[in-house]
Amino acid sequence: MKNLLLAFLIIFTFSCTKDGDTEITPGQTGDLNIVGTWESDYVFTVSQKSGANALNSTINSPDGSVVTFNSDGTFTMNKFSIGDYGFDSFKAGTINGTFLVKANKVTLTTDAGVKHSFTASVSKVTEMEMNLTKELIKESLESSKAALTDTEYQAKSSAISVYERYDQSGYFTKK
């Protein structure tokens, strides 16, 4: 009986998924492995102001909207950023900084000292989803307070507080 149980355990431990559907295992430190260059496909937003119906929108990202996470803990965003309301794939230019991954939470710190946090999941080796919520945007704003003027902080805080609900997902393909 022990041999039968051991045989089943070995078979299920080493079972393969179909070709091309290899599930990714988080990095050996137990954190999510996002190192590489990711191209933004589209951004989906659900927003709801107090007393109003929820609004859903999907925006396709322009060509060249990429985020590169380097193994040394630095990142570069090109034609893509995270702003007051979350992901923005229509900003021109490049943003650089550092990133930290703890479990599935990613925190970016730009060279200007502004922090942005979001949760991420990598379902396959070539697909990643980044998620922002109103709470994460507010947390990022608090973390960035020292890098902002009082006027900037108040404006950004007021802008997000009008939403009862604000969720955003960015979908990426590894290049």
Which H or E element spans position 81?
strand 81-83
* One pLDDT digit (tens) per residue for the chain, 175 residues: 333 333 333 333 333 434 443 343 333 334 688 999 998 888 888 888 888 888 888 887 777 788 899 999 999 988 766 666 666 655 667 889 999 988 888 888 888 888 888 888 887 778 888 888 889 888 888 988 898 899 989 988 888 888 888 888 888 899 8
Q: Residue 138 and residue 157: Cα distance in Å, rounded?
A: 7
Q: Residue 87 and residue 75: Cα distance in Å, rounded?
A: 15
3-state secondary structure of 4: helix
